[in-house]
Chains A and B, each alone.
Chain A
């Protein structure tokens, strides 16, 4: 091929996928756990919506990327 053509690589090296999946899913699950503990323990009146939303949001970011890397490391290239 023409020499100026540059090879395209994935944004994250493939070898990191399993590690990233484990780490991000672990963080995500811990945050999910804290979210549900908060939901179950705080009474309706005292619970703060902002806190719930931020915990849920951060947890879903970690779970989302974690499950993406899990899929990629399992060979399901989305």
Chain B
């Protein structure tokens, strides 16, 4: 009923409307309507001819209001011959137009032609119009066993403000099973294709409603809301996170659902349901995940080659009409594929929409999270979008990262085009994160130092506190003593080394020089030792350890003497040119004592160290 009433309305408008606004004539119109998926695509090829004397540079396209609401994407390209590649076709600018004296129930778009048409000239161009939610399921509710039938309404005649000379229409359906279709003159059916026309010499605003009712079990996957978050890290990653709220937009499911039936005969019991979605991710995508609020969803498959990465995801349950699901897909992309530098500015060049195949998105929100410290942010998108900025606090942030939010409704795969976000960034800002980590660790160390150095006892006059302080002083003195003794021992080692050098080179002078230096050093050390020992003598809390320290000092002195004696003996021997064996024999006894003493000194040092 509604359909015919609408048709009548338009027809009346057509009669009332003034005749063509300009002298343009559409000499040939070929329309092909693809109903093979839930997204309706109408590809038309129009040949315009200027029949009047005035130059014309714009062509109007008319859409009934109902269709205009569902129109998601409109593109006009110059028609190239069949032999040329489609990509080379130049896009023509399309704008919303509101010409005067036109019926208000129609929405107009104007296509600007590359050059004006003089009288008698003609120009051919293609128009691609993409509609969402244009297939209406009838019946609206089906059971699991039913097939899904949908209705599509169009006009058999091309609705245009111009006279159309020759036109034809073909409708491509997914299946040859057609419930019903409007039969007009010149209607032919070939398998899954219905052809109307050719019709000749129709006046402007001709309209003849047709209705096709057919089976479509294509996936009616509709994302009611998709939030895409693209996070740029200059440390080498672009992280994309996509939050889907998905619904099956076809005929609603009624009655009960039997998993057993579905599993046993999925083509008969659940033909209208879809089990999986396919996403074409960019090449070199890594760390791909697919999860929802419960956790990881294991039913996903990933293939990859150098050109693309294909991800197949299955929701937790088969999707029947009206059923909803929500999930998150995330993946990382290498930075160098998407981020570029141009004239001092950096820009991110990435696709706008979801990578899912044949998905309608009602509301798409794209958030581009730039690194902290980015400034002068601007967006260049190939189509109008709503945009604003916010901030996001993430890992190691102080004042949050700048986020550019882009919102667009009614998005189809044709919108999956590249867009650019330009911004300025100082390279030094990259050091923010490591500096924060470094300062964090450094504060820890400083806290330890402060704790060790601060005197945090409450009562400064208690006996235990004083004793402790005295003991610390003693400890300090003992450490210094130890330090001096170990320096003495290194001097001894040096002397021994000089003796070894002597036996190798025979350079007596060098050995004597070493002896002289060692003498001086040892004297100084013993001078340093004196005040420490007197302090230890006077301190009562050192009473216990004092004998050991004194023993250590005494032993060391003995050791020192022995080393000196040995040194003198050997040097004497060399000066007197005694044989090496002779010297060795003479020193042998001393050497034994030396080793024993050294052992004792080491033991004592260790003992004192343990206190």
43-63 of chain A: CB within 8 A of chain B: 43-47, 49, 52-53, 55-57, 59-61, 63
**Cα–Cα, bound, A46→B438 (Å):** 28
- Given the known interface contacts A46-B479, A78-B433, the answer about A63 and B396 at a Cβ–Cβ threshold of 8 Å is no
Q: Tell me which of A2, A47, A57, A65 contacts B434 (CB under 8 A).
A: A65
Indicate whether B458 reaches chain A with its CB closer than 8 angstroms: no
B interface SS class: helix
Which residues does chain A contribute within 8 Å of B472, judged by CB atoms? Answer: 43-45
Indicate whether B69 reaches chain A with its CB closer than 8 angstroms: no
- Given the known interface contacts A10-B234, A45-B476, the answer about A64 and B440 at a Cβ–Cβ threshold of 8 Å is yes
Number of A-B contacts (CB under 8 A): 127
Indicate whether B239 reaches chain A with its CB closer than 8 angstroms: yes
Indicate whether B278 reaches chain A with its CB closer than 8 angstroms: no
22-78 of chain A: CB within 8 A of chain B: 28, 32, 35-36, 39, 42-47, 49, 52-53, 55-57, 59-61, 63-65, 67-68, 71-72, 75-78
Indicate whether B201 reaches chain A with its CB closer than 8 angstroms: no
How distant is A49 from chain B, measured CB to nearest CB, in Å? 7
**Cα–Cα, bound, A77→B231 (Å):** 9
Indicate whether B236 reaches chain A with its CB closer than 8 angstroms: yes
Q: Are A72 and B476 in contact, with the CB atoms below 8 A?
A: no
Indicate whether B449 reaches chain A with its CB closer than 8 angstroms: yes
Q: Are B235 and A2 in contact, with the CB atoms below 8 A?
A: no
Determine the residue in chain A with the shortest Cβ distance to B425.
A8
Q: Are B441 and A64 in contact, with the CB atoms below 8 A?
A: yes
417-437 of chain B: CB within 8 A of chain A: 418, 430, 433-435, 437
Q: Are B446 and A56 in contact, with the CB atoms below 8 A?
A: yes
- Given the known interface contacts A39-B452, A71-B395, A76-B395, the answer about A9 and B437 at a Cβ–Cβ threshold of 8 Å is no
Determine the residue in chain A with the shortest Cβ distance to B236.
A10
Q: Are A8 and B441 in contact, with the CB atoms below 8 A?
A: no
Q: Are A72 and B438 in contact, with the CB atoms below 8 A?
A: no
Q: Are B442 and A49 in contact, with the CB atoms below 8 A?
A: no
Which residues does chain A contribute within 8 Å of B337, judged by CB atoms? Answer: 7
Which residues does chain B contribute within 8 Å of A39, judged by CB atoms? Answer: 448-449, 452
Determine the residue in chain A with the shortest Cβ distance to B480.
A46
**Cα–Cα, bound, A32→B475 (Å):** 24
**Cα–Cα, bound, A44→B477 (Å):** 11
Q: Are A5 and B236 in contact, with the CB atoms below 8 A?
A: no
**Cα–Cα, bound, A46→B342 (Å):** 58
Q: Are A5 and B438 in contact, with the CB atoms below 8 A?
A: no
Q: Tell me which of B346, B395, B440 contacts A8 (CB under 8 A).
A: B346
Which residues does chain A contribute within 8 Å of B340, judged by CB atoms? Answer: 1, 5-8
- Given the known interface contacts A36-B448, A52-B449, A75-B287, the answer about A6 and B237 at a Cβ–Cβ threshold of 8 Å is no
Q: Are B234 and A8 in contact, with the CB atoms below 8 A?
A: yes
Q: Are A8 and B335 in contact, with the CB atoms below 8 A?
A: yes
- Given the known interface contacts A8-B339, A75-B332, A78-B396, the answer about A64 and B476 at a Cβ–Cβ threshold of 8 Å is no
**Cα–Cα, bound, A12→B304 (Å):** 26
How distant is A3 from chain B, measured CB to nearest CB, in Å? 10
347-402 of chain B: CB within 8 A of chain A: 347, 349, 394-396
How distant is B75 from chain A, measured CB to nearest CB, in Å? 21
Q: Are A7 and B453 in contact, with the CB atoms below 8 A?
A: no
**Cα–Cα, bound, A11→B233 (Å):** 11
How distant is B341 from chain A, measured CB to nearest CB, in Å? 5
Q: Are B437 and A64 in contact, with the CB atoms below 8 A?
A: yes
**Cα–Cα, bound, A72→B479 (Å):** 45
How distant is B201 from chain A, measured CB to nearest CB, in Å? 48
Indicate whether B336 reaches chain A with its CB closer than 8 angstroms: yes
Q: Are A4 and B342 in contact, with the CB atoms below 8 A?
A: yes
Q: Tell me which of A43, A45, A52, A67 contacts B437 (CB under 8 A).
A: A67
How distant is B161 from chain A, measured CB to nearest CB, in Å? 39
6-22 of chain A: CB within 8 A of chain B: 6-14
Q: Are A35 and B445 in contact, with the CB atoms below 8 A?
A: yes
**Cα–Cα, bound, A6→B347 (Å):** 10
Q: Are A64 and B395 in contact, with the CB atoms below 8 A?
A: no
269-323 of chain B: CB within 8 A of chain A: 287
Which residues does chain B contribute within 8 Å of A36, judged by CB atoms? Answer: 448
Indicate whether B473 reaches chain A with its CB closer than 8 angstroms: yes
**Cα–Cα, bound, A35→B479 (Å):** 18
498-530 of chain B: CB within 8 A of chain A: none
**Cα–Cα, bound, A78→B435 (Å):** 13
**Cα–Cα, bound, A24→B346 (Å):** 31
**Cα–Cα, bound, A39→B448 (Å):** 8
Q: Tell me which of B335, B346, B452 contacts A10 (CB under 8 A).
A: B335
Q: Are B342 and A10 in contact, with the CB atoms below 8 A?
A: no
Q: Are B441 and A11 in contact, with the CB atoms below 8 A?
A: no
Which residues does chain B contribute within 8 Å of A47, judged by CB atoms? Answer: 452-453
**Cα–Cα, bound, A2→B286 (Å):** 27
How distant is B242 from chain A, measured CB to nearest CB, in Å? 17
Determine the residue in chain A with the shortest Cβ distance to B476.
A45
Q: Are B448 and A10 in contact, with the CB atoms below 8 A?
A: no
- Given the known interface contacts A39-B449, A72-B236, the answer about A6 and B341 at a Cβ–Cβ threshold of 8 Å is yes
Q: Are A9 and B335 in contact, with the CB atoms below 8 A?
A: yes
227-266 of chain B: CB within 8 A of chain A: 231, 233-237, 239
Which residues does chain A contribute within 8 Å of B480, judged by CB atoms? Answer: 46
- Given the known interface contacts A7-B337, A67-B437, the answer about A59 and B445 at a Cβ–Cβ threshold of 8 Å is yes
User: What are 16 pairs between A and B in contact, CB < 8 Å?
Assistant: A8-B336, A36-B448, A39-B448, A43-B472, A43-B479, A46-B479, A56-B448, A56-B449, A57-B445, A61-B438, A64-B437, A67-B437, A68-B437, A75-B332, A77-B231, A77-B233
Knowing that A1-B340, A9-B336 touch, tell me 16 more A-B residue pairs with CB under 8 angstroms. A5-B342, A6-B341, A7-B339, A10-B235, A10-B236, A43-B472, A46-B479, A47-B452, A49-B449, A56-B446, A60-B439, A60-B445, A67-B437, A78-B233, A78-B396, A78-B433
